[in-house]
Amino acid sequence: MTEAQGQGPGAQGQGPGAQGQGPGAPTIDAGELTTFARLRRRGAVLIGGGALWLLLFLAVPLALVFAAAFCETAGYGAVKLSLTWDNLGRVAGWGVFGWEADNLRILLRTVVVAGLTTVLCLALALPMAFWIARQPQSRRGLLLALLMIPFCTNLVIRIAGWTVLLSNQSWLAGLAQQLGAIGPEDGLYPGTFAVLLGMVTTFLPFAVLPLYAVVERLDWTLVEAARDLHSGPWRTARHAILPQIMPGLVAAGILTFVPALGMFLVTDRLGSGKFMLVGNLIQQQVGRDTPYLSALCLTLVAATLIGIAILRWRAREVPVA
């Protein structure tokens, strides 16, 4: 490949002698005689705007939130500058009535719902990815576009659609009523079923696209080799296919799990205040109790990072064929 010849110090992050010589020492980068100091100066100009932007509008706000998590709440929700652990205690369940399990239940429910959503999405997305990858080239573009359209049509609209379909006046609810699955006047929402349906359909495109990207490039010769060596379908899938699609699975998992953890809209509309997740708890506190809000955000970020770490760790456990 052309890449190999073109490897300069910049591409690797450290060229020959990156450690040994000072930044002023001459070096060759992609055919240009220059110094590390000059390259870095040029790099700083390039990344300056973007890095500053992310620092200013992402890192600093997040740092402020973390700081606010240790402030006190004064009367009616005003923020008082002082150091306290109270807010983290409140997240864990301590309040005016002593300890209560509510918040832990919400946290657990959030993790379970996000996990279940991820599993269901992957289970549905995987066959979809294989199906699309097996279509003739011209057809694939169409199917991918079909996936993109609902994603670009805002989530709020898709949820509005579910409230139409699941309301007790719709034919779908009528069918469920006839079958005795729900009471004669009940709708299919609010409830757990509606929330899960909303969640899975929200994130399905996020799960299919990265999976499709890896399945499309799948090396089928490995599968043939496995077959030739008389391995059964399970072993073939486990050892010849799974390691190849693992990066896609992890990406799809992260793209589903992370936003699912912070979901507020689906539970708000399809759960109607009867099915609360951390996202709803956070939404309720915006503008009401900033320190408590910040502590909740802190908890959610921690949960997210743990979730990603587990996904990556699981990914490493799969042996390469």
Partner 1 sequence: MRLIALLFAVLVAARAADPVNVYMYSEYIDPSIPGEFEKKTGIPVRISTYESQEEMVAKLMAGGSGQYDLLVASDVVVTQLVTLKLVAKLDQSKIPNAKNLWDRFRDPLYDKGNVYTLPYFWGPLGIIYRKDKLPAGKVVSWKLIFDESASIGPFVLMDEMRSMMGCAAIALGKDVNSKDKDEIKTIGQTVLKAKQRKDCLGFDGGVGGKNKVLAGQAALAVVYNGDAVKAMSESADVAFAVPVEGAPCAVDNLLVTSKAKNPAGAHAFIDFLMDAKIGARNADFTQYATPYQASLALVKAENRANAAIYPSDEAMKKLVSLLDLGSDTNRIYDEVWTAVKSR
Partner 2 sequence: MKTLSVLGWSGIGLLYVPLLAVAVASFNAGRHGVAWKGFTVDWYVKLLGNQVVAEATVNTLLVAGISTIVATVLGTLLALGLARTPWPRPVRGGLDVLIHLPVVTPDIILAAALVVAFAVLRLLGPLAEVWFAPGLLQIIIGHITFEIPFVALIVMARLTMIGRSQEEAARDLYASTWRLYTRVLLPQLAPAIAAGALLAFSLSLDDFIIAFFTCGPGTETLPVLIYGQMARGVSPELHALSTLIFVATVLLVVGAARLQGSRAAAS
Query: How many Cα neighbours within 13 Å face the side chain of 182?
Result: 19
Nearer to partner 2 (CB atom), residue 142 or residue 229: 142
Binding partner selected for residue 159 from partner 1, partner 2, none, CB under the kind-specific 5 to 8 Å limit: partner 2
Tokens of 105: 């239940």
221 to 250, contacts with partner 2 by CB under 8 A?
Answer: none
CB of 186 to partner 2, least distance (A): 15
11 to 40, contacts with partner 2 by CB under 8 A?
Answer: 11-15, 18, 27, 29-32, 36, 39-40
Can you say whether residue 33 is alpha, beta or left, with left for phi > 0 and alpha for psi between -120 and 50 degrees? beta
Contact 282, 268 (CB under 8 A): no
Q: Tell which residue, 193, 133, 194, 203, has the closest CA to residue 162.
A: 194
Nearer to partner 2 (CB atom), residue 105 or residue 288: 288
Binding region for partner 1 (CB under 8 A) out of 32-40, 71-79, 200-208, 240-248: 71-79
CB of 194 to partner 2, least distance (A): 11
Binding partner selected for residue 265 from partner 2, partner 1, none, CB under the kind-specific 5 to 8 Å limit: partner 2
63 to 122, contacts with partner 2 by CB under 8 A?
Answer: 64-65, 68
Please give the Cα distance from 226 to 240 (Å, whole number): 7
Q: Is it true that the peptide bond before 259 is cis, omega within 30 degrees of 0?
A: no
Element (H, E) at 25: none
How remote is the C-alpha of 271 from its chain's centroid?
21
Show the site string, 271-300: x = touches partner 1 by CB under 8 A, - = not: xxxx-x---xx--x-xxxx-----------
Please give the Cα distance from 271 to 156 (Å, whole number): 14
Please give the Cα distance from 84 to 318 (Å, whole number): 44
CB of 275 to partner 1, least distance (A): 9
Q: Tell which residue, 220, 275, 242, 279, has the closest CA to residue 122.
A: 242
Residue 6 in the binding site for partner 1 (CB under 8 A): no
Residue 309 in the binding site for partner 2 (CB under 8 A): no
Q: Tell which residue, 47, 46, 4, 11, has the closest CA to residue 27.
A: 11
Binding partner selected for residue 87 from partner 2, partner 1, none, CB under the kind-specific 5 to 8 Å limit: none
Residue 169 in the binding site for partner 1 (CB under 8 A): yes
Q: How many residues bind partner 2 (CB under 8 A)?
A: 106
Q: Tell which residue, 260, 248, 247, has the closest CA to residue 118.
A: 260
Q: List interacting residues with partner 1 (CB under 8 A).
A: 73-78, 95-97, 100, 102-103, 105-106, 167-169, 183, 185-187, 190, 271-274, 276, 280-281, 284, 286-289
